[in-house]
Structure 1
Amino acid sequence: MACSSCSTGKDGQPRGCKNNGTCGTDGCNKLTVFDWLANMSLPNGQKPFDCVEVRFKNSRKEFFRNVDGLSLGIGDVVATQAKSGHDVGIVTLIGELVRVQMKKKKVDPVDKNLPKVYRKASQRDIDIWQKCRNKEEEIKKRSREIAISLKLQMKLSDVEFQGDGSKATFYYTAEDRVDFRQLIKDMAKAFGIRIEMRQIGYRQEAQRLGGIGSCGRELCCSTWLTDFRSVSTASARYQQLALNPQKLAGQCGKLKCCLNYELDMYLEALKNFPPQESKLQTKKGIAFCQKSDIFKETLWYSYKDDPATWHALKKDQVLEILELNKNNTRIASLEEYAQENMDDEKMVFENVVGQDSLTRFDRPKKNRRKKKKRNSKPKASSNG
């Protein structure tokens, strides 16, 4: 998403507002919520909801109470309450939809301990904020060098400065527990700020860093996905995908979140499907299921004595045979049912052009020149 004033300019930066993706209209922010109630007025006597949603670096969003009744709109830069000092963020949502988002995030809208919005950010606040943001990459590089010198088994993935520049939060990933007390001392001495270390998971790391997925689009976790549900290999098995870790894993190294998108549809289709381990009793022998196609409702069976020869059966035919087997009745063979399916097959594609062929240029050309020369030779005249 992008607003009309944020067309891409030099070095991938927005040409219009020069805010590096945090434009005033909030059109190109990550995880933006569209305020579809913006053009509707409140009923008579009802006061506007006094909480707002504020976004900070990357996808971090928090809720704040507008105690002073400031006139705020989406895209306003505000100074908000922090544990010490103040932070600076951008308003991403106002009005009644904030109440819905708070309910979704399980935040109590009447909580008296909810942090407050101090004021709209002044130019001095914005200058300090931008100056801190510009230092983050250099500090991240320097902090990684300190962590390597201390031989700590951790990866520092991102740094986020507080709006007033008094504190920096370092996000890291690690397999095991890390003793970073000496790291905090060295970084506080080198940078002259308060340090907070926060461990995140690999999915949260990919969300903060962003990137392009194998589908060619931006990562779902960094654009619209807010909850990380567990993904298991059973999701791939239900969808009959090859268990190839290189194809099923995302940039975070975990299973792709998109494996869960179509899982419900597959589970719904499998409700009326015969079990994969079902055996068909025939007079010719026992048949085992080798493969199934859920949406074509086709299963392939082969005899125990001839596993290389597969016979395609429809789902209803398999259920019919299983019902007969329950009544101790065996069919003659699978070939009878497979032959019926072969007769029902129809051509699903025809050449609409008709005269063209994909191999028309592969045909060898006839040597007409030699034939022409042979016909053009003068005939010998007889003086007889």
Structure 2
Amino acid sequence: MEEKFKLNGPCRGLCAKGCGRQNKQLNTYDYLADIPGNAEATDLVEVQFKNTRKGYYHNSNRLPLEKGDIVAVEATPGHDIGVVTLTGRLVPLQIKKANLKSEQEIKRVYRKAKPVDMEKYEEAKSREHDTMIRSRQIAKELGLQMKIGDVEYQGDGNKAIFYYIADGRVDFRQLIKVLAETFHVRIEMKQIGARQEAGRIGGIGPCGRELCCATWMKNFVSVSTGAARYQDISLNPQKLAGQCAKLKCCMNYEVDTYVEAGKRLPSKEITLQTQDAEYYFFKADILAGLVTYSTDKHLAANLVTLTTARVFEIINMNRRGEKPQRLESGEAAEPTKPADLVEQESLTRFDKRRKNKGKRKDNGNPRGSQSSKETQGAERREENAGKDRRNRNRGRDNKEYKGEQGGNRENRPGKDKRKRDRDNRSEKAVKPAPNTPAEKTE
């Protein structure tokens, strides 16, 4: 028996089978998929259709179903095509979470999808977009205050579900007649809210993650502005609203923690009295338990940050008629900042290294031996100094010979010197030797 249920392979300890082959929304990780006997624990399976629509069915035929299988399930009328997303012991928990109390609501699985079923399914799905556009035009012609957000055809193409959004009640009896005559299918109208529409469409939130309503949220709880007040969030509609134009669902995630932590803070109406001045409540860090006080009611003047223990100590002293000399007790309370992984390393550290590459660092730790580099640098400096001296001398001679650029040729400083040189050369050429016959004649 031990050898029969022994898990082998590179994925031991990791339930890779529970991931399955699916790119659907509201994915559920089946961490019990590799447990022996999990599939035989119950005959219930979870089947997902377009977007976030799910259903639960009885596997009465005992088909060997796994996560990712495409099956044909019972529908009214005909059958529908969906993807198995969960099997085993987790399905009853999902049914309990979905509040399905009646066993009559649970239908059964017919079979695994055949090629003929898939052809009808693909044909029906190809008509959904055109049907949605035409149905919007019909609703506008009838003057109905509603928005048709999505259309979903049944797997066999006999029925179409129209998802619409409306602020109030809509009399769409005439609309159903027109749609049935136009598309020749059975019509089902289903009203959804703005959050459900955002979940069906999907998208990326301002946090950088996929929308919660499109990934894991099934039941939506109303969100009020009180959740923002408890967490000291600015009441800015542009920041508090999500893609559905409603308050973000994530505001409810931590509100209980903030409410519990806020009970340990002093009242905002209490002022702290010292021998020098009175301090008024300015702001508070709820989770850290720090309160900041100011000497002005409306401005940030002489801000002092205290712990809640110190604040209650001063309040008790004021009630006894005592006034401390100052608010701080020895050392001022400094707010402790959480460690941020991004702040530990500069984002431009690689650019700085590339910019300084090839430059000698005087105060740093250059690579290689320091003494050898100093010797090489001294020799290089001596060579450069000799070259500079030769270049300066050569440039000075050229400047004296050619004169300054742009100056008058008559006023150049080297002109007189050149003239004297020419006169001396000519005199030497013309002057006769002292022992010539001409000198004797004279």
1:176 corresponds, among 168, 180, 194, to 168
> Could you tell me which residue of structure 2 aligns to residue 31 of structure 1?
26
1:208-243 deviations in Å (ceiling 9; x for gaps): 111121122221110122221222212222222211
Q: Residue 292 in 1 paired to residue 284 in 2?
A: yes
Residue 146 of structure 2 corresponds to which residue in structure 1? 154
Aligned residue number for residue 260 of structure 1: 252
Unmatched tracts of structure 1, length 5 or more = 1-23, 361-371, 379-384
Question: Letter of the aligned partner of 2:153 in structure 1?
Answer: F
* Equivalent-residue separation in structure 2 for 1:169 and 1:343 (angstroms): 60
CA distance in 2, matches of 1:85, 1:42: 33
1:231 and 2:231 equivalent?
A: no
Secondary structure at the aligned position of 1:341 is classed as: coil
CA distance in 2, matches of 1:185, 1:254: 33
Structure 1 partner of 2:14: none
Query: What secondary structure, in the 3-state scheme, does the structure 1 residue paired with 2:107 have?
Result: coil
Contact 2:71 2:113 in 1 (8 A): yes
**Residue identity opposite 2:93 in structure 1:** V
Q: Structure 2-normalised TM-score? A: 0.68
- Helix, strand or coil for the counterpart of 2:167? coil
Q: After superposition, what is the alpha-carbon deviation per residue over 1:11-34, rounded to whole angstroms, capped at 9, x for unaligned? A: xxxxxxxxxxxxx94332211112
Return closer, same or farther for 1:131/1:286 CA change in 2, 3 Å cut-off: same
1:188 and 1:350 map into 2 onto residues whose CA distance is 63
1:323 equivalent among 292, 316, 319? 316
- Percent sequence identity is 45
Indicate the structure (1 or 2) with the bigger Cα radius of gyration: 2
Q: Distance in 2 between matches of 1:162 and 1:182?
A: 22
SS in 2 for 1:125: helix
Q: What displacement does 1:108 show?
A: 4.5
**3-state SS of paired residue (2:126):** helix
Question: Structure 1 259/343 Cα, relative in aligned 2: closer, same or farther at 3 Å?
Answer: closer
Specify the alignment match of 2:72 in structure 1: 79
Correspondence 1:107 to 2:132 = no
What residue number does 2:109 align with? 117
Question: Deviations 1:71-111 (Å, cap 9, x if unpaired)?
Answer: 212111111111222111111111111122223223358x2
| 8 Å contact from structure 1 (residues 290, 300) kept in 2 | yes
Listed one character per residue, the Cα deviations across residues 148-182 of structure 1 (whole Å, up to 9, x for unaligned) are: 12222111111111111111111111112212122
The offset of 1:342, in angstroms, is 7.6
Number of corresponding residues:
335
**Contact in 2 for aligned 1:298/1:312 (Cα 8 Å):** no
Shift in alpha-carbon separation, 1:324–1:108, aligned structure 2, 3 A: same
Output aligned runs, 1:311-350, within 5 Å.
Answer: 311-315=303-307, 316-334=309-327, 337=328, 340-341=331-332
Q: Which residue matches 1:280?
A: 272
Task: Sort the Cα spacing of 1:50 and 1:108 in 2 relative to 1 into closer, same or farther, 3 A.
Answer: farther
| Alignment pair present for 1:98 and 2:91 | yes
Secondary structure, counterpart of 2:174 in structure 1 = helix
- CA pair 86-319 structure 1, distance change in 2 beyond 3 A: same
Q: 1:108 to 1:77 in 2, by over 3 A?
A: same
2 CA distance for matches of 1:345 and 1:97? 43
- CA deviation string 1:283-317 (max 9, x = no partner): 44543211112344332222357844142231222
1:141 aligns with 2:133: yes
The 3 A distance-change label for structure 1 pair 309 and 234 is same
Task: Determine the C-alpha separation between the residues in 2 that align with 1:70 and 1:300.
Answer: 66
Q: Describe the SS at the equivalent of 2:119.
A: helix
Match of 2:189 among 197, 207, 211: 197
For residue 165 of structure 1, the aligned residue among 136, 147, 157 is 157
Matched residue type, 1:59: T
Query: Which SS does the other structure have where 1:325 is aligned?
Result: helix
The answer to whether the 8 Å contact 1:207/1:222 transfers is yes
Q: Residues 75 and 132 from structure 1, CA distance in 2 versus in 1: closer, same or farther, beyond 3 angstroms?
A: same
Q: How does 1:358-369 map to 2 (within 5 A)?
A: none
Whole-Å separation in 1 of the counterparts to 2:193 and 2:261 = 34
Question: 2:365 is matched with which residue?
Answer: none
1:132 to 100, 124, 129: 124
Cα root mean square deviation, aligned: 3.5
Preserved contact between residue 312 and residue 338 of structure 1 (Cα < 8 Å):
no
Amino acid at match of 1:341: A
Q: Is the 8 A contact 1:285 1:304 kept in 2?
A: no
Structure 1: distance between partners of 2:149 and 2:46: 25
Letter in 1 for 2:202: G
Q: What per-residue deviation string (whole Å, max 9, x for no partner) do you get for residues 115-142 of structure 1?
A: 1111222211111111111110111011
> Structure 1 pair 236/351, CA: closer, same or farther in 2 (3 Å)?
closer
304-313 or 255-264, larger mean C-alpha shift: 304-313
Alpha-carbon distance change, 42 to 306 in structure 1, aligned in 2, over 3 angstroms = closer
* 1:60 paired residue number: 53
Residue 350 to residue 140, structure 1, CA distance change in 2 (3 Å): closer
Question: Does the Cα contact within 8 Å between 1:300 and 1:310 map onto a contact in 2?
Answer: no
CA distance in 2 between counterparts of 1:207 and 1:49 reads: 30
Higher helix share: 2
**Alpha-carbon spacing, 1:204–1:306, altered in 2? closer, same or farther (3 Å):** closer
Specify every segment of 5 or more residues in structure 2 that has no aligned partner in the other structure, as ranges: 1-18, 357-387, 397-442
2:367 aligns with none
Match of 1:218 among 210, 215, 224: 210
